Structure 1
Amino acid sequence: MKRLLLILTLLAGAAQAREDQVQIHGNAAGAQTLSQPEPGVTAADYRFNDRGRGDVIQAHWRLDASGLPVSYEAKGNDYWKVEFSERFGRDVQGLARWRNRIEQGETKAAGFYLPANPPPEFMGVLARALLKAPGRRLPLLPAGEARLEGGADVDASGRKLTLYRISGIEFTPVPVWLDDKGDTAGVIDDWFEVLQASLLPALAELQRAQQAADQAWHARLALQHSHKPQGALLIRGARLFAPVSLGVRAGMSVLVRGERIVRVEPDADLEVPAGAEVIAANGRFLMPGLWDVHQHFSNVDGVFDLIAGVTSARDMANDNLPMLARVHRFDAGTELGPRVLLAGIIEGIGPLAGPTDVRVDTADKARAAVDWYADHGYAQVKIYSSFSPALVAAVADRAHERGLRVSGHVPAFTHARAFVEAGADEIQHLNFILLNFFPDVKDTRTRDRYTVLADRLAQFDFNDGRFADFVTFLRQHQTVLDPTLVVLEGLFSGEPARAAPALRPVVERFPTVVKRRQLSGAVAVPPGKEAVYAQALPGLLRMLKKLHEGGVTIMPGSDGFAGYSLHRELELYAQAGIPNAEVLRIATLVPARVLGVEKDRGTIAAGKLADMILVDGDPLKDMSDIRRVHRTIKGGQVYEPAALEQAMGMTSR
């Protein structure tokens, strides 16, 4: 009889099993399978593959009558394949205990335990608990508070789906869709979807509803935190940095009317115009706005750019039509963000192709993709890892014919020299420069393009004549390098249970739950490789310095958490031995020159756009002072970084 009951229980659980499809940019990447192995217990098996990376989570949990977890267990690996396990339980006396790779604790306080590495279904679990909670608010464990607001209803194949938005989890409300039975219908963000397979035909409509809610949220934020002077704007008493001469002049004034600078003179020579709004710099360091030439905009990246003093940026591949719309909102002032130049991705065909729908396998299709980008105002094209090396020249020729630059990852099965010879103007990521000297590393479509780096650095001598010859080759071809050192540092010098080095100066000021979600992201060091990995960053810094000294043009890009990662990129350049004044030029004037907008940006001069930042401190003496942005000015509009951080839920500086 017991055996029969067990079989019936298992069959009941199987009958209730549900499989959600995981998609990355519309392409199937994995699945989330939910089942009930026994009454009252939900089990999730969640896994996806993103070019060799991706989460694998096996979890099960039990809830009380209010929808709060009373037990939770999970194991698996995170996106970078670092293993983890997690356990939570509340005993009959009401004592809750938890342990995961970043924390452990206990409390008798009531609350919803939010796992450190949950499957997407847990957002639905939280939404249902919030629907039952008074005022749709719940304390979170280990800390924080979640709040729920309702949104749009959408009819999908005869089923009513409701959009809910949960605040207190991320910087912006997290969307989750519930169906008319209260089950989780989908969790969707800009690039990533977890959705019941039967609802995939409704994905575009669900995305539109989410985007409308997101845009209304951004518009309110922009209205509250953009200050446009009624008349002229005068910055007075500044120490003015000149990226051309690398000099600094004290006691300088800058007069702005509208979006442009009209006069730059010593304080004594410039009278305060009638009705002008005056910003007393009080000796603060005034410099052109920063550039970040490697971003993938989503969510609140634009806000954190302005917090960090980034007034110009380049998006290095995105969902094309939504990104064009986002740039329009940045320019219109209905969403906070910098000025953005666009690079359109072109990828090849295959199972390891990157997350884009612009995938081509012929020269004609490649040229058509270039034409689409040129027709839509893109500044360049970015070739990705699965692209056929045989087609690079065709892309480069058409791009140059249309006035576009060409850059990218060095495609798999070729190397950096050949990529440049085929017509590339620029290379993303410093690791591809090193891999030029290791032709045995052929397939760079997976995470191997990062994980082999430490071993290869240990094997290479940068005094080798081959390296000097290659530096000369890059200089002669005027090849530009976007090193993204900050990403490589995070992978090789980070720790899987800590925040990335770029965020450590600020992460303690993040909202509690957001901070917790940043405590992951490094590659796990293979046993016995600790010494090799410890030398990876010093080796990369030596390489960067030799490239700079050899005359190779460098532009700073973060490819990570917006704003603060760019600050860390500049700190790493200084740490490599590049003089601070030259680092500031690299961050301001150099991108403006390379990307063809020097007429309007890159220096503080009459006639140029009023894109500037005031810094507390002196980054010429200490590059970390670049983190102390007091005011950001973009096109004459003034933004207060401290107030924007507060709006993001951060504590004061």
Structure 2
Amino acid sequence: MCVENTPPPPSRLTRRGILAGAAALAGTTAVLSATAPRASAAGGSGDGGGHGLGLGGDLVIEGGTLLDPATGEVTEDAVVVIAGGVVRAAGRRGKIRVPEGMEVLDAHGRWVLPGLVESHIHLNTAAEARDAVLHGATSARSGSTNFYQDIAVRELARQAPHLAPRLRAAGVFVTPDLGDTILADPDLTPLAKLRDGVRSPEALRRVVEINLARGADVIKTRVNERAGLPEQDPLAQVYDREQLSAVVAAAKRGGKGVLCHSYSEKGCHDAVMAGIRSLEHGVFVGERTLREMRRRETYFTPTLTAIAGLAESSDPVLAERGRTYLPVLERAVLAAHELGVPLAAGTDSSGGKVKPIGREVELMREAGLPALDAIRTATTSAARLLGLQGRAGRLARGFAGDAILLDGDPLADVSVLKKPVRVVRSGIAL
């Protein structure tokens, strides 16, 4: 079958209908209806950033110890002024004018950091999105969903930022076997007739184009099978460099980057040479590939949390993979850091259980990164990967009013990032 003969991309009506279905599956429509009064009361326009109707609050965070991940500067007795969901001023008390009548969040005895950036998470529901925020992830990048639920979650974040992280959505996975995802979209249905699945350049291009038509911000694909399924071999390669190049080219035509699920060294190398934006998991990535990543500024999102989680599985195959893979991946992370490969923190949370992004920072530290550099993987570095530099990753004038308050010094003990005592999302204290 030639997919080029299938109907052209979708009409606006089709797109609206599909995304309405995704919102129903994600539960975002019901949540928005129930919380409309609070969203309206928040006022301001802080989280929109030219991307919709996001609302932001007015808040002063006062008296804490402020850490700027970009510079490493620590400011005691600091004040952060947020208006309309955007930071208007941040610095030492006495140097910052505090407007009268604003709500004040007392941060005395706490450390204050920008909201964390989660670079690989699967958010299928409004409840998961809320959990991610409460764990400190105020910005995130989706690792794909089966039925475009991440696009619905992104819209929830724009309309009611206190309910979800600012999100870069990946839509549906570009993978040989689409499975039930075929049911998500009538424009995907013709691909079910392909005997070998989504493998030809035409089929790969079509899935990317449909994702873009539905509003995806990034494209997710794979080069290897999954580590989390005992019946699969994570070192088996499912796409070659030419196929991956077809995905990357189609995404670039839409102005988007590609994140690629990977494990084997050959698979990692093929993916990087094909031009992906970020390598996900990448357990067996080798030095030649890491050097190429540094040259190309390809990001590495190792998802240490997910690999460490395998070791806790009741399945003996998965448990053995976790025990075997984690030390290999830790060495790869440290090698990447020492070579200057940009690193981004991501937990690969899925299946309804959201893991704290602070745990990924802790594992980065355990892999050998200095504390500040580990924190940067979930702030400034991750923000650049998501295209949010200037908006996320710092508490400085013009940045989003997203913050976490911690019960300890993260430079001395990064594990405090796992349990923020308060989270502020777009100027709204949660």
Task: Indicate the TM-score class for this superposition, using the shorter chain for normalisation.
Answer: 0.7 to 0.9
The one of 238, 244, 260 aligned to 1:392: 244
The one of 307, 319, 323 aligned to 2:150: 323
Q: Distance in 2 between matches of 1:283 and 1:396?
A: 48
Q: Match for residue 82 of structure 2?
A: 256
Q: Is the 8 A contact 2:119 2:344 kept in 1?
A: yes
Larger Rg: 1
The one of 283, 294, 318 aligned to 2:120: 294
Deviations 1:195-247 (A, max 9, x none): xxxxxxxxx9xx89975977536754786899848984211112111111122
Q: Structure 2 counterpart of 1:406, which letter?
A: V
Deviations 1:533-558 (A, max 9, x none): 75643333222111211111111111
Q: Match for residue 349 of structure 2?
A: 560
Q: Match for residue 269 of structure 2?
A: 417
Q: Is the 8 A contact 1:226 1:638 kept in 2?
A: no
Q: CA deviation at 1:574?
A: 0.9
Q: Distance in 1 between matches of 2:243 and 2:121?
A: 25
Does residue 338 of structure 2 align to residue 549 of structure 1? yes
In structure 2, the residue corresponding to 1:356 is in which secondary structure?
Answer: helix
- In structure 2, runs of 5+ residues without a counterpart are 1-17, 45-56, 183-187, 192-197, 226-237
Q: CA deviation at 1:474?
A: 2.2
Residues 156-305 of structure 1 mapped to structure 2, 5 A cutoff: 211=25, 215-216=29-30, 220=34, 228=42, 232-299=58-125, 300-305=127-132
In structure 1, the residue corresponding to 2:170 is in which secondary structure?
Answer: strand
Q: Is the 8 A contact 1:396 1:406 kept in 2?
A: yes
Q: Match for residue 306 of structure 1?
A: 133
Q: Distance in 1 between matches of 2:89 and 2:427?
A: 13
Q: CA 1:413 to 1:279, structure 2 compared with 1: closer, same or farther past 3 Å?
A: closer
Q: CA deviation at 1:341?
A: 0.3
Q: CA 1:325 to 1:225, structure 2 compared with 1: closer, same or farther past 3 Å?
A: closer
Deviations 1:552-577 (A, max 9, x none): 11111111265534222111111111
Q: Match for residue 341 of structure 1?
A: 168
In structure 2, the residue corresponding to 1:236 is in which secondary structure?
Answer: strand
Q: Is the 8 A contact 2:88 2:398 kept in 1?
A: yes
Q: Match for residue 403 of structure 2?
A: 612
Deviations 1:113-163 (A, max 9, x none): xxxxxxxxxxxxxxxxxxxxxxxxxxxxxxxxxxxxxxxxxxxxxxxxxxx
Q: Structure 2 counterpart of 1:548, which letter?
A: H
Q: Distance in 2 between matches of 1:334 and 1:261?
A: 15
Q: Match for residue 150 of structure 1?
A: none
Q: CA deviation at 1:373?
A: 2.9
Q: Is the 8 A contact 2:141 2:386 kept in 1?
A: no
Q: CA 1:548 to 1:482, structure 2 compared with 1: closer, same or farther past 3 Å?
A: same
Q: CA deviation at 1:322?
A: 3.6
- RMSD over aligned CA atoms reads 3.2
Q: Match for residue 625 of structure 1?
A: 416
Deviations 1:590-625 (A, max 9, x none): 121122221222211111211111112111111111
- In structure 1, runs of 5+ residues without a counterpart are 1-203, 437-466, 497-520, 527-531, 640-653
Q: CA deviation at 1:486?
A: 0.9
Q: CA 1:334 to 1:308, structure 2 compared with 1: closer, same or farther past 3 Å?
A: closer
Q: Is the 8 A contact 2:117 2:137 kept in 1?
A: yes
Structure with a larger share of its residues in helix: 2
Q: CA deviation at 1:259?
A: 1.3
Residues 66-145 of structure 1 mapped to structure 2, 5 A cutoff: none
Deviations 1:484-542 (A, max 9, x none): 111111112x252xxxxxxxxxxxxxxxxxxxxxxxx774657xxxxx97564333322
Q: Match for residue 160 of structure 1?
A: none
Q: Match for residue 216 of structure 2?
A: 378
Q: Is the 8 A contact 2:356 2:418 kept in 1?
A: no
The one of 389, 398, 403 aligned to 1:598: 389
Q: Match for residue 499 of structure 1?
A: none
Q: Distance in 1 between matches of 2:22 and 2:342?
A: 41
Q: Distance in 1 between matches of 2:96 and 2:346?
A: 37
Q: Match for residue 54 of structure 1?
A: none
Q: CA deviation at 1:582?
A: 0.9
Q: Match for residue 537 of structure 1?
A: 326
Does residue 194 of structure 2 align to residue 368 of structure 1? no
Q: Match for residue 7 of structure 2?
A: none
Does residue 292 of structure 2 align to residue 473 of structure 1? yes
Q: Distance in 2 between matches of 1:228 and 1:549?
A: 44
Q: Structure 1 counterpart of 2:346, which letter?
A: G
Q: Distance in 1 between matches of 2:255 and 2:415?
A: 37
Q: Is the 8 A contact 2:345 2:378 kept in 1?
A: yes
Does residue 302 of structure 2 align to residue 483 of structure 1? yes
In structure 1, the residue corresponding to 2:335 is in which secondary structure?
Answer: helix
Q: CA 1:348 to 1:258, structure 2 compared with 1: closer, same or farther past 3 Å?
A: closer
Q: Distance in 2 between matches of 1:223 and 1:316?
A: 31
Q: CA deviation at 1:260?
A: 0.8
Q: Distance in 1 between matches of 2:367 and 2:42?
A: 39
Q: CA 1:348 to 1:311, structure 2 compared with 1: closer, same or farther past 3 Å?
A: closer
Q: Match for residue 231 of structure 2?
A: none
Residues 21-60 of structure 1 mapped to structure 2, 5 A cutoff: none
Q: CA deviation at 1:285?
A: 0.9
Q: CA deviation at 1:345?
A: 4.0
Q: CA 1:549 to 1:631, structure 2 compared with 1: closer, same or farther past 3 Å?
A: same
In structure 2, the residue corresponding to 1:268 is in which secondary structure?
Answer: coil
Q: CA deviation at 1:588?
A: 0.7
Q: Distance in 1 between matches of 2:151 and 2:36?
A: 18
Q: Structure 2 counterpart of 1:238, which letter?
A: G
In structure 2, the residue corresponding to 1:541 is in which secondary structure?
Answer: helix
Q: Match for residue 408 of structure 1?
A: 260
Q: Is the 8 A contact 2:144 2:220 kept in 1?
A: yes
Q: Distance in 2 between matches of 1:361 and 1:617?
A: 50
In structure 1, the residue corresponding to 2:421 is in which secondary structure?
Answer: strand
Residues 415-454 of structure 1 mapped to structure 2, 5 A cutoff: 415-431=267-283, 434=284
Q: Structure 1 counterpart of 2:335, which letter?
A: K
Q: CA 1:322 to 1:585, structure 2 compared with 1: closer, same or farther past 3 Å?
A: closer
Q: CA deviation at 1:314?
A: 0.9
Q: Is the 8 A contact 2:22 2:149 kept in 1?
A: no
Q: CA 1:250 to 1:378, structure 2 compared with 1: closer, same or farther past 3 Å?
A: same
Q: Is the 8 A contact 1:346 1:366 kept in 2?
A: no
Q: Is the 8 A contact 1:305 1:337 kept in 2?
A: yes
Q: Structure 1 counterpart of 2:349, which letter?
A: G
Deviations 1:332-389 (A, max 9, x none): 1298211110124443445xx5663356333233223323333443222111347542
Structure with a larger share of its residues in strand: 1
Q: Structure 2 counterpart of 1:356, which letter?
A: T
